[in-house]
Structure 1
Amino acid sequence: MLTSALRLAPLLATATTVLAAIAPAAVAQPRPLHGTIAGTAHMNTQNIDAPIDPGTLTGTFDPATGAITGTMWLPPLVDHGHQFGLFPYTSSNIRIHPDAPATGHVDAHGLTMTQRFHLEVPEVRPDWLPFWNMSTPTCRTADESLMTLTAPGVTDPRQGFTATGAFDMGRFTGCGPAMDEFFSSPMVMSSPANPVTLTFTPTP
């Protein structure tokens, strides 16, 4: 009996090795990605920096493929500018309305992320006539904006990163009689390639 068992031992060891070799490798699962995101946006037409207070980025990062998917929420912005470079105004409660989840990837060059959105601008008040709202609750950009962010050298976004990029602010619609064309003027609001810097800080 002992002799038979000794003879079977090498065969069992070989079978175990073969089964281990053909067993499917463990697949890395996407990791949670969650934290705050804040920064600044430079509005080219007004030549001002609009602070972006802390919002959130919640999603996943797949270490195996480098894919990033998430939901980016940013609080309303406040824009203090000058119409035609002369007349001061305040645009409060500017909302960034995402049209799709934020997507991106990490590769040998670092991190790239994109976010498609519309801007909603329900309030634009001249500082010298603050009771007059030149806008309407339905005022928004007519064209979808695409914000593309890059962060060279980032290998794991879960550790935090600072990314830079830009977005276009195009035509406006739903802003009221004559205001669509007024806000769409490149001398008032619409402008291409507005620089943006966002810093992601992970939360435990």
Structure 2
Amino acid sequence: MLKLGDIGKSEGEIMEKHSIIKMVGFILFFAALLITWGFQEQQSSYREPHQAILAEDNDLVLIPSYIMNGKALYFFIKDGNNLGATMVDEGIFGWKAGMFTWSPIGNIEDLDEISGYQGHGDHLVYGLIRDGDENMITIDGQPADILNLEMLPQTVVKDNNLEGLSLWYFEKEEAGELKELNLVQRDTGEVLQVVDL
């Protein structure tokens, strides 16, 4: 359909004008989507990893493990009797918490032995032990990292009955099944307990 402004123009010029209008419309639509996405990402991102976690659940007792290469691993105590983990990732707008997993801590008196362990995704296994300075955990012959929970503020340690406890965790880099978890006496290397995974 010819418009008044199109009189005297060739069909090619008219088609080019319509193509430019379509392209500008597409660019504006894409820019609006990008701005909306950016705004939503910015609203759900935080300056520090712990802020991203506490934005999801402000009542968690956080146990920081590490912040490295745009990733942060945090463990937490939820409702006084659940131990959990979450990985926090750094994006362009800040830190965002990932999946949260947790399960009951169980009987703290049973922690002289490995009474349970938990998984987080496919790459992280963790649990609690007593006497983490004297004992260590190995998984398939590799040592697990150990965090002494008495590093937390004393009120947190006392309120959550964490005296003498350590949190152990093992991150595997490659996919595949873990086979064996060992509780080992640190000084002698004596295997105190073996758990098949």
Q: Structure 2 length as normaliser, TM-score?
A: 0.31
Q: Report 1 or 2 for greater relative contact order, CA contacts < 8 Å, sequence distance ≥ 6.
A: 1
Task: Pick the structure with more strand per residue.
Answer: 1
Q: Structure 1 length as normaliser, TM-score?
A: 0.31
Task: Pick the structure with more helix per residue.
Answer: 2
